[in-house]
Structure 1
Amino acid sequence: MISFVEASLAELSIHRIGNKSEEEFYVLSEKSIVIKDLMLSNLLQQYFLGPYEKVNEVYRFMHPNGDLNLNEVYHFAEAIFENGEVFHENSQQLAKFLYDVSGHPKIKSGELYVAYFENVQIEGELHDAIGIFKSETKESYLKVFPEQDGFGLSYEQDAININKLDKGCLIFNTDKEEGYRVAVIDQTNRSAEAVYWKDEFLKLKIRNDSFNQTASVLGVYKNFVTEKLDEEFEISKADKIDLLNRSMKYFKEKESFDLDEFSNEVIGNAEGIESFKNYKKNFEEEFDQPIPDSFDISGAAVKKQARVYKSVLKLDKNFHIYIHGDKELIEKGFDDDKSMNYYKVYFREEQ
């Protein structure tokens, strides 16, 4: 979805952001950097843009009050796109704002990079893009170099691994009225304090396109099967796996999603269908994320969701049964003599 084969780095500003709660301050550079070294420019583009080749989700800027102009990052990005001469000045404003929202004591200090790229491709179109990146993780590296009749060895501490971008966003100069197209990376978002990047700094909402509609329905259905069904029906784990497999089969074979068709083909039970539709409706209301009853299916979203769909039946610590097809070929029973459950599996030949 995102490619940087034709991209070029036009301007770069670097600042340092401390942790506000720890009384660490920010340090602003006085001017942007002119990069003349082609190798360095290529390394920076790989560091900043490389991770986005595997990103499919596209977001938009928003503000709780509904006024996009109140979103600080949107405001500064708009100013840069309209007048490139104010790039560095607005990069400083972005640094100050990020510092203001870096109030949790566990947020790491680090360098903030604001970059302007030309000709970055998203969804088959070339656009200029503003990149905002933060490096928080530092590593040590060994250096080996020729010395006299052998080799010398040294090291460098607090260096940055260009294959590990901690946090970043790309703002594409398109769809301005809707909040631009925004792609996000957050490799350190593993706990509550880390949500400041997407929620407090950027203030984003998911773009309601086919990728996100497909991912949302598959996610809602998976949670419905694994978490909700037990509350209303008696259902075995094998039957749950079968329901998940049937839903994945539907999405892989169909080009478009239709709620009624999906419900009848995959669930096939009136009470279960009603329960699923109510569960979907409650999700939409709770997260303010409407999902249409019909849309084109995104193959990329199906592929991504397939990784988290489980088709494994785990039996104590002795056996795992992988169920990929007809659930009628597996039967569950109870052995009175051994006081243990068992599964009987039918097959034609071993492979």
Structure 2
Amino acid sequence: MVTFFEAALEHLSIHRIGNKMQEEFYVLSEEPFRIDDELLNNLLMQYYLKPFEKVNEVYRFMHSSGNLELNEMFHFCTEIFDDPLRFHENSQMMAKFLYDVSTHPKIKSGELYVVSFKNVQIEGEVLDAIGVFKSETKETYLKVFPEKSGFRLEYEQEGINIQKLDKGVLIFKTDKSEGYKVLVTDQTNRSTEAVYWKDDFLKLQIRNDSYNQTSAALGVYKDFITTRVDEEFELTKADKIDLLNKSMKYFKEKESFDLDEFSNEVIVNPDAIASFKAYKSNYEQEFDTEINDSFDISAAAVKTQARKFKSILKLDKNFHIYIHGDRELIEKGFDEGRSMNFYKVFFKEEQ
């Protein structure tokens, strides 16, 4: 999604953010940080941008009122894009705002880095970008130095591992009226206190582009097959795997998605088609999102979702059957003598 072999770090401001609920304070630097060391510059580029190479979901800034200007981070970023001379001033405003929303007692204090970049590529487009990053996790490092006939061993506490960015966001200078293109990462997002980064600080909403449309459509269909279809229809696990395989085949072979075409080719059964469409509609209402009836298919989203589609039929602890092809070549039955289920598999030759 993101490449940065042509990118350049233009400006960097560093601030310290404490936890407001723990009566810690914030510390603002008076001026931007000057980087004179080329190696340090390269290390920072890796630290800040490499985690976004595998991030595919694109977000946008939003505000519940519909007025983007009321989104604080959208406002600060716009100020910087419009007038780069106000970069440091707005980085300070970002730091103060992050401090104000750090209201959970378990939120860790840490350094906030606000960075302006040139020539960062996203979806084939080279753009200016603003990065905002927070380091929370500190580690201890050992240092070994050769010394006369042996070595000297030292340590450094409270160090930052540049392979582990805790929190980060990239805002690209494009699609301003739509809330910009925004990528976000949060390595502590499994904890309840971590939602402040994306929800309170950034106020993000998923973009309605081809990647997210493809991902959402596959996700809803997978949930329908694995969790809902049993309530209305009698299907074996092999039948479910076959339906999942057919859907993945459709998305891999087609360039665009059409709901009716997909339903007729993959689901086939009219009652099941009606049930799936109702399930999709309920999902859209519950999560306040829209999955269009037609859209261009994103190959990247298909590749990501394919990892989540399981085609393994697990039978007790004795056998795993991988079903990749014709559903008609596997039959389920019941052996009265053994009082056990069985599957009969047809094939022409062993490989």
- TM-score of the superposition, structure 1-length normalised? 0.97
Alignment of 1:218-297 (within 5 A): 218-297=218-297
Distance in 2 (alpha carbons) for counterparts of 1:21 and 1:313: 50
* Structure 1 equivalent of residue 67 of structure 2: 67
Mean Cα deviation higher: 61-70 or 314-323: 314-323
Distance in 1 (alpha carbons) for counterparts of 2:18 and 2:347: 62
Mean Cα deviation higher: 332-341 or 186-195: 332-341
Mean Cα deviation higher: 304-313 or 154-163: 154-163
Distance in 2 (alpha carbons) for counterparts of 1:266 and 1:106: 47
**Is residue 195 of structure 1 aligned with residue 195 of structure 2?**
yes
Distance in 2 (alpha carbons) for counterparts of 1:51 and 1:202: 18
* Structure 1 equivalent of residue 14 of structure 2: 14
Mean Cα deviation higher: 337-346 or 79-88: 337-346
Distance in 1 (alpha carbons) for counterparts of 2:107 and 2:188: 10
- Give the 3-state SS of the residue equivalent to 1:304 in structure 2: helix
Gaps of 5+ in 1: none
- Give the 3-state SS of the residue equivalent to 1:54 in structure 2: coil
Q: Which amino acid aligns with 2:289?
A: Q
Distance in 1 (alpha carbons) for counterparts of 2:3 and 2:249: 30
Q: Which amino acid aligns with 2:51?
A: P
**Is residue 85 of structure 1 aligned with residue 48 of structure 2?**
no
In the TM superposition, residue 334 of structure 1 has moved relative to its aligned partner by: 2.0
* Structure 2 equivalent of residue 159 of structure 1: 159
Distance in 2 (alpha carbons) for counterparts of 1:80 and 1:320: 56
Q: Which amino acid aligns with 1:338?
A: R
- Give the 3-state SS of the residue equivalent to 2:27 in structure 1: coil
- Give the 3-state SS of the residue equivalent to 1:121 in structure 2: strand
- TM-score of the superposition, structure 2-length normalised? 0.97
**Is residue 210 of structure 1 aligned with residue 210 of structure 2?**
yes
Q: Which amino acid aligns with 1:349?
A: E
Aligned length: 351
In the TM superposition, residue 12 of structure 1 has moved relative to its aligned partner by: 0.6
Q: Which amino acid aligns with 2:271?
A: E
* Structure 2 equivalent of residue 110 of structure 1: 110
* Structure 2 equivalent of residue 42 of structure 1: 42
In the TM superposition, residue 277 of structure 1 has moved relative to its aligned partner by: 0.7
In the TM superposition, residue 141 of structure 1 has moved relative to its aligned partner by: 1.6
Cα displacement string for residues 131-173 of structure 1 (whole angstroms, at most 9, x for unaligned residues) = 0001112222221111112222222122111111111001111
Stretches (4+) displaced over 4 A: none
Cα displacement string for residues 79-99 of structure 1 (whole angstroms, at most 9, x for unaligned residues) = 111111221111111111111
Alignment of 1:144-155 (within 5 A): 144-155=144-155
* Structure 2 equivalent of residue 172 of structure 1: 172
Cα displacement string for residues 88-121 of structure 1 (whole angstroms, at most 9, x for unaligned residues) = 1111111111111111222222111100111111
In the TM superposition, residue 192 of structure 1 has moved relative to its aligned partner by: 2.4
